[in-house]
Amino acid sequence: MNKKLAAALSGGAVMVVALSGCTSATKESGPDPKLVAWAKSVCDAVPAQDAKIKAANAQIAKTATDGNLPPKTVRDTYAQAFQDMSDGYKAIAAAIGGAGAPPGVDDGAKRQQDAVKNLNGLSASYAGLKKQVDGLDTKNQGKFAKGLHDVADQTKQIGEQNNSGTEALKRLEQGEVQQAIAQQASCKVSASAPPSAPATAG
């Protein structure tokens, strides 16, 4: 069950990479300097949170491969990982929200608001999973296993949220926003590191 849970969660880092991965589109004249400044304020917040989310995914995968860990250790590890994911997405949402709408971009305010809404929704979902894991009965192996199964089921819904969030970020990054992000060294550093490899179930 731990491996299935890890597999369900393995896509958690995808959204951050989606934000930082658009570094190919550039043009000679370059985007508006105000938009470049906007992109910098967003990108500067990405690497630390990206690392936090990837580390949480890696910790889940590592825990899933160790069948000798006591239930309390498994519970505490997953709880911390969910908390880190929640904090990471919340911080990125705050960075995008605090930056305001991308200057000079058609429909930029709506695209920005959609991205923030999706990221905050993911943060809340992972916070809910953390609370759910905190309540697992570690003294009863049967109840603990069932509880993990329920958590794994919840992650499927979060996976759908993750897909929606990725699409919202892609919409935000279209056009000159993409070009402005491409100029940011902090986003390029984050984009160069691939997301955590999915853990295999079985």
pLDDT band at 154, cuts 50/70/90?
Answer: confident
Q: Under the phi-then-psi rule, with left for phi > 0, alpha for psi from -120 to 50, and beta for the rest, what region is 198?
A: beta
- Sequence-separated (6 or more) residues with CB below 8 Å from residue 162: 11, 12, 14, 15, 122
- On whether the CB atoms of residues 196 and 57 are closer than 8 A, the answer is yes
DSSP H helices in the chain: 2-9, 14-20, 33-43, 46-64, 71-99, 108-134, 141-172, 176-182, 185-192
The average pLDDT across 135-161 equals 87
- Per-residue HEC secondary structure of 125-168 comes to HHHHHHHHHHCCCCCCHHHHHHHHHHHHHHHHHHHHHHHHHHHH
Average pLDDT over residues 101-115: 92
What's the rounded Cα separation, in Å, for the pair 94 and 100? 10
Cα separation, 116 vs 19, in Å, equals 12
d(CA 139, CA 109): 50
Go through the domains of the chain in sequence order and give each one's CATH number: 2-11+31-192 (1.20.120)
Which range among 53-57, 152-156, 193-197 shows the weakest confidence by mean pLDDT?
A: 193-197
82-92 confidence digits (pLDDT tens): 999 999 999 99
Q: Integer distance in angstroms from the first to the last C-alpha of the chain? A: 8
Calculate the CA 22 to chain-centre distance. 16
Q: How confident is the model at residue 77 (pLDDT cuts 50, 70, 90)?
A: very high
Using DSSP, state whether 174 is helix, strand or coil: coil
